[in-house]
Amino acid sequence: MSNLISPASIPQELFLTLRDGTGKRSKYATEEGEEVDIIFYGGQAGGGKSFASLLHHMKYCHIPHYKGITIRRTTPMLTKPGAIWDEAKSLYKEFDPKVRIRNKDMKISFGPVQDIDQKAEVSFTHFERVDDTDNFQGSQLSSAVLDELCQFEESQFLYIMSRLRTKADMKPVLRATMNPSPDSWVKKWISFYLYPEGHELFGRPDPSKQAKVRWFIRQGNDMIWTDSREEMFEKYGRRDSFGNLLDEKDKKQIKPLSFSWIAASVYDNPYIEDNYIAFLEGLNRVEKEILLYGSWEARPEGLGMIKREWFIEKDEEPPHTEIVKTVRAYDFAFSLKSDKNISPDFTVSVKMSRLKSGDYFIHDIRQTRILPGQWFDFIMEAAQKDGVKTDIIIPLDPGPGAKFTNGFLTKQISASGFFVKQMRSQGSKIDRFKPFASMVMNGGIQILKNCATDYENGVINDLTFFYNQLEAFDSRAGKRKSGEYGHDDLCDAAADAFEAVASTKVIPNFMHGLKASNGILEVSNPFNNM
């Protein structure tokens, strides 16, 4: 590593040098022990996460065949001014003036190796949709960094784990950065490192557990953790018919992986200006807990996953040439107002498109209270306006209206010349809502100004009721608030529309280890047999 560029803080140094204590593998390793398989880094604002992730790749730039990758959820997150691609070009150019920068495919290669195929290379790419795996097919990744991990789904993280294999003389490793997100799947991975429930600092990083190396295996969807490699084999290692522990090199033996989480705060960063720290210290209680103290539990009662200011409002719809796919998703209700039910659910629809830019656009929102016999007319009114290029998504619910929806309604819509697809709900409401909420939070949802109509309450061209419902949705428990804004109908329709235009889930495959060939060292994937 260059003498001019080095870690700026102890957490960054730990991120770059942490070892698991099991011996050496690479001839390039100078410290005792192997590198930890997986390290998560960050937790507070201003902790130097991006800089640390770029330094990680620089460790290996002298190793032939090194292929590193940094991944964000969308391309705009990589390429906007001042984002990590700009930071990488500046830093790596300073580190090595002879680096080759390819802006078109966002790759940077290092010398002095003359053979271009052997040059160390770092690439930057996106992984937007869960099923968007073509970017990584056939890849040999020496190391991967997922930047802002909480923006990804766990299946994406696991898939990248499955792609780690290398011709370089090193052990493939995985790194990730993140800010606290109480509703993210990431929390279950790092919960050990947080103060437990009942402690006055519940949810904050526990300094006594900083950078502690743990070991895990996956059995189905379950994670099994131990504090040492020896404990893992003793408790969960496979044995022969005589009860003797199989050798670690035996193909039938478990393959535990090492893991650590390193918390970093603004106070660790010597280059952060005092006025930025003052800004963080002046935030409200909840935001200060998250951004300054790195709390993974900070949330007042009823705080939702979405704020209206995160939507990007547009005066005009996008050009047709920029639209990849458009759907209108529905959520149905079965009752009207009465003395016994003063605030029943709404029948709603959300029209949404996926754009070539990777953003999403909401064109139209409608809500009303009607009976099932009126659903068809409600759908057809919108369909005639939308046209045949807009797919119609209706829920396949297990309730009393499922038979009607599955039969008569879909047949009538299809007979009218429109494509209709039934979508069966999978998982809890909150889990289905998270991908959409994450995209909103990260500035990926555009919306036409005043595109919402509430027929029941006589509200036309006003987004207020849409924003109120989304903000009222309790992300912690999926609870409802009372009143007209305590419903989740629009949340369900928006989540279904987003899923329909964005992605379908895939099951990660971990069987990608390689064997040595042509005299070139190829290290098999350490993440196999989890």
Instruction: Delimit the domains of the chain by residue range.
Output: 10-279, 308-502
Q: State which fold the 308-502 domain adopts.
A: Nucleotidyltransferase; domain 5 (3.30.420)
Choose which CATH entry (3.30.1330.100, 3.40.50.2300, 3.40.50.300, 3.40.50.1980) describes domain 10-279.
3.40.50.300
Cα separation, 366 vs 240, in Å, equals: 64
Cβ neighbours of residue 271 under 8 Å, at least 6 residues apart? Answer: 8, 48
Assess contact for 146 and 160: CB atoms under 8 A.
yes
Q: Please give the model's pTM, rounded to 2 decimal places.
A: 0.61
Report helix, strand or coil for 219: strand
Cα separation, 440 vs 434, in Å, equals: 10
How far are the Cα atoms of 7, 265, 322, 335, 456 from residue 343, in angstroms, in the given order?
A: 57, 46, 40, 10, 11
Q: What is the gyration radius of the CA atoms in the chain, in angstroms?
A: 26
* Adjacent-strand bridge partners of 71: 125, 146
Cα separation, 146 vs 174, in Å, equals: 8
Tens of pLDDT along the chain (530 residues) come to: 443 456 667 888 889 889 887 654 434 334 457 889 999 998 766 668 888 899 999 989 888 889 999 999 888 888 888 889 999 999 998 888 888 999 999 999 987 655 666 789 999 999 988 777 877 876 779 999 999 998 888 889 999 998 898 888 888 999 999 988 877 889 999 999 999 988 888 889 999 999 999 999 988 778 999 999 999 999 999 999 999 999 988 999 999 999 999 998 777 666 566 676 677 777 666 667 777 788 887 754 434 578 888 899 999 999 999 999 999 999 998 878 776 666 788 999 999 999 988 899 999 999 999 988 899 999 999 999 999 999 999 987 655 556 666 677 889 999 999 999 888 776 677 778 888 988 888 889 999 999 999 998 889 999 999 998 888 776 444 444 434 445 789 999 999 999 999 853 333 333 333 333 344 444 444 444 44
Question: What is the model's pLDDT at position 11?
Answer: 85
Cβ neighbours of residue 221 under 8 Å, at least 6 residues apart? Answer: none
- Going through 103-228 in order, the beta strands assigned E by DSSP cover 107-109, 121-126, 143-146, 173-178, 214-219, 222-226
Report helix, strand or coil for 141: strand
Assess contact for 440 and 475: CB atoms under 8 A.
no
Residue 14 C-beta-side C-alpha neighbours within 13 Å: 20
Cα separation, 212 vs 205, in Å, equals: 12
Q: How many residues does the chain have?
A: 530
DSSP 36: P
